[in-house]
Amino acid sequence: MGAAQQFSHDEKLKQVLNSLSTLMVKMQAQATQRVRTENHSGVLDVRGYDSAFEAYRHSGYANQAHLSMHDHPDKAGVLGMGSIGAVLNGNHLRTRHLDTKLMMPVEEGGPENFNKLRPIPTPPVPQNVTSKGTIAEQIAEMKEYFYAWQTQNTTHREYKDYFQPAICVLEANWVEDSLSIAESFPNDVADADLDTWAKVSELAQFLSLSGKHDPDGLVGRSPTALREIKTDHTYTMKVNNAAGYTMSPFSLPRVNNVKLYQNNYKNALLNSGSHVTISMAESSQGTFLWIAFGMNGHGGTHKANIGIECLSGGCRTADIEGCGDRSSVRTSCRQKPVDGSVYTEQSVPSPTQGLVAYGPLSGPYELKLSFSGLSGINKVRVNTGVEDGHVSHSVGDEFLLTHEESEPRLVVAHYAYRTFCHPLGHDIPLNRFKVLDDLPAQMYGDLLTVHELGQSRRGHFLLNPRNQTKFYEGKVTYEYLDALMESIPGKDNYSGNLEELSQGRISAHYNNQKEILNVAYYSRYYQVTEKDAMGRNQRRRGFNDANFYGAMNTQPAVSSLSMNDDEGVVRERWSHAIPLEIVFMTPLANFNPYNLPKKSNVAASNRNGGISSNRAFDGYDDDHFYLTPAEFYSGPIPDQDASDTGLRVAGVLDKSGTVREVAAAGHRMFMPPIAGLELEDRIRLRFPIAPFADTKAEGLRNAHALKHAMQSPKLREQLVIGEFINLSYPALTLYTDSDYDETHFHVLKLTADEVKALHNSETILKRTSSAHGHSHALRIAATVVQGNTVFSILSCDGGGVRCSSGHDTVCEIPDQCLPSSLYQVAPASEPALPPHVESAAVVMYIWLALLIIVMLSAFVYFGGVDVAEGNDGF
């Protein structure tokens, strides 16, 4: 085979492999989309240990405990949780043993802080406790704080600073397949042989053949995918043939073809009035060499001769675009090439920012730049593409720019996950939680009532969608949980601050269009200024994923995807998360009345926590976290699990060598009973709130609806008779006032539940109908004045009472807000019925409808109606 034939064969093979790789990327995207269609983001299942004929006795979201939660109170800051199955944005994973450490992201971002965590500060001991003279008095006072928290009685003790909630999440993102597991689970890798995701995946696949599982709980399964086919580009700038340095192109918007302006991006020019800046820029049309002359408001005109000589490669087809100020692309300063490779630009005017873009550049190339005849310029700066990164040179230097391309490579990534927590920084009243009436969990083992379920480890909780005492039930959009999730940072940590601009639209906060949404933190709802094809500008992430929380980041370790649009080359990196639980931290982690010493090797010399001096632990450490005096509790936890660890009472030597009997001070699902404390319920510290993934199935949705209907006689009546059965709170239609134009008003349709909420002194956020090409998000309230209900606007579009288009009033009766020409007035001969007559008439109609239904049912039952063969019955 000749050289030419071999080259042709190799090229064809590359084309085939490229086509197969592209097909694989698309097939994996299609498989992920199928999972999205069938599942929300959320948890799926836990490990099962037993079987039964009845399906509800199989392990679903819970076995002995919801999400296999368990206790490790002998370890500082550890929340026990077993392996779980979950879906995040269509990616199905099964985790390893998920013992979560009470750790939060570090403050600063950057590659050096990728996945770095720090311990969450635990609440201090109340000064009222430490000031007591004896240990017995300290114990007694500490009990009073627990009583105050459980009864939510701030008068008894001001407890809020000492019982602090934190929210814990499961987070996942695509990373290069070589990333070590230690970077996702810091300081928690027990097996050095399983140090990469690839090794874990290989072992998981082997174990699945026989159904065995790893006894150490280190093996899980999560997707590996071919993400993209990528060619690496290297841009090197050499000055006067000296050693070169690397440049990185900016991804910049397209304005007037490839003319790119300073006010469209941040820190791109690093320019000043006495400099010319060389940059590389990516746009939707390709890569361009960008030369910018800046006066930064000083005025004046630069004179410049710019020599651009293409020495080889893909720069031979490039052309000059743009020259001059922001208002237009001026061609008068162009001078056509003399020999097809050299361009000379003369008299570049720059009242604000002169721009010359040379490109598009493609493939490997080498070009030479020179400057002469410069007026008002004393430096040439090369922008390296990193923030605040530039190199200054003299105007007479010669610049050689080379571009090299690697062979196309396959980017294989792994969907890596981790758990971490975030301190919320404010109190969450216990009445914000409501136990879910989950029949399978109630019937999994011993039959439990809903209240008993909440007092067991199998209980799952709902967080009130509204931060209010009365639990709200009904459809919601942005809710209390969204506000909590928006306080959790993504991979850029707490210092992250990113804007989301895609397809010409910038994302704003769902509740305030004037507030740019910081997408470096987790969000589910957002809005944009322009409406979509359905006439809406308020949106939820995902097509039909009720629990999609996403956060953007700039971490190089996170696999990215790119696209070209009118803004240029857009490359983004995202992570996804779902909430797992809210845990309350207590002052017991710092309550050390015996002043026990913290040491290392406290279990050396066969010490096991016995009560004798030669068996007691020699102090405490994070793995032997025994601090709480044993007399604080009156007995053990009644429903211990096989996965729980720790001794009920351990012996620990104090500084004088005296053995002190103490209990573990770490976190638990439920606290043991506290001696002398009379409480109706057990003290729960962990509230699992993870959303469920598999609630999209039509059969399951119908089963949930049927269960709800069976539990509510009122709902059953509504389903049979219709919503008008709700006489106390009927659905209402409100109208805004018309300000400058009597045809300009909006309609607000309230459901019966929303009307009821308003009558219960709650506020609701509701979007109006569209009029004159826009709508408004109104937060409204209701008050009763002299027996009449008056509705009022509290805020419009997240601002003040008055909308930008002038509306500041809503009315139930049209003629209070609108001109009579815009609604139909009842004839004077047919006056409206008084309210009590209307109610009586409705009741009469209801009884009449019931009578007709009963008569028809009896008629059918006794054979009065024959259903023709072949027709569908009921």
Task: Write out pLDDT tens, residues 421-462.
Answer: 999 999 999 999 999 988 888 888 778 888 999 999 999 999
The pLDDT value recorded for residue 740 is: 60
Backbone φ and ψ for 304, nearest 5 degrees, come out as -155, 140
Q: Which of 445, 325, 359 is nearest to 57 (CA)?
A: 445
Question: Which of 215-229, 559-573, 656-670 is predicted most confidently?
Answer: 656-670
What Cα–Cα distance (Å) separates residue 16 from each residue in 8, 12, 19, 23, 229? Answer: 12, 6, 5, 11, 13
Highest mean pLDDT among 29-33, 131-135, 503-507: 131-135
Tokens of 344: 């000379």
Query: What's the pLDDT band for 728 if we cut at 50, 70, 90?
Result: low
Residue with the bigger pLDDT between 252 and 158: it is 158
Task: Say whether pLDDT at 706 is over 50.
Answer: yes
Among the residue ranges 333-347, 353-367, 564-578, the one predicted with the least confidence is 333-347
Grade residue 247 by pLDDT with cuts at 50, 70 and 90.
Answer: confident
Mean pLDDT of the chain: 79
**Residues 687/693, Cβ–Cβ less than 8 Å:** no
**pLDDT range class, residue 251, cuts 50, 70, 90:** low
Mean pLDDT is lowest, of 216-225, 336-345, 487-496, 577-586, for 336-345
Query: How far is the C-alpha of 38 from the C-alpha of 695, rounded, in Å?
Result: 9
Residue 819 — very low, low, confident or very high, per pLDDT cuts 50/70/90? low
Q: How many CB atoms lie within 10 A of CB 872?
A: 5
pLDDT for res 474: 82
Six token digits for residue 197: 């995701």
Across 21-34, average pLDDT? 85
260, pLDDT greater than 70:
no
Q: What share of the chain is helix, strand, coil (3-state, %, to 5)?
A: 20, 30, 50
Q: Alpha-carbon distance 510 to 537, whole Å?
A: 9
Angle at 823 between CA 819 and CA 829, to 5 degrees: 105
Q: What is the DSSP letter of 130?
A: H
For residue 493, the tally of other CB atoms under 10 A from its CB is: 22
User: What crossing angle do the helices spanning 713-721 and 835-861 adopt, rounded to 10°?
Assistant: 80
Count of CA atoms in the C-beta half-sphere (13 A) of 28: 18
pLDDT (0 to 100) of residue 307: 78
Torsional class of 400: left (φ above 0), alpha (ψ -120 to 50), beta (otherwise): beta
Question: Which DSSP symbol is given to 241?
Answer: T
Mean pLDDT of 735-759: 79
Q: What is the pLDDT of residue 716?
A: 58
pLDDT at 61: 83
- pLDDT (mean) for 570-590: 94
Q: What is the pLDDT of residue 177?
A: 64
pLDDT band at 143 (very low <50, low <70, confident <90, very high): very high
Instruction: Answer whether 528's CB lies under 8 Å from 507's CB.
Output: yes
Please give the Cα distance from 489 to 726 (Å, whole number).
44
Higher pLDDT, residue 292 or 161: 161
Q: What is the 3-state secondary structure (H, E, C) of 638-693?
A: CCCCCCCCCCCCEEEECCCCCEEEEEECCCCCECCCECCCCCCCCCECEEECCCEC
pLDDT at 629: 97
What value, to the nearest 5°, has the Cα angle with vertex 828 and ends 824 and 833? 85
Residue 116 · residue 154 · CB < 8 Å: no
% of the chain surpassing 70 pLDDT: 75
- pLDDT category at 869 given cuts 50, 70, 90 is very low
Tell me the average pLDDT across 744-771: 84
- Measured CA to CA, the distance from residue 291 to residue 323 in angstroms comes to 10
Q: How many C-beta atoms surround the C-beta of residue 574 within 10 A?
A: 20
Q: Looking at residue 185, what is its pLDDT?
A: 59
Q: What is the pTM of this model?
A: 0.73
- Judge whether residue 586 has pLDDT over 90: yes
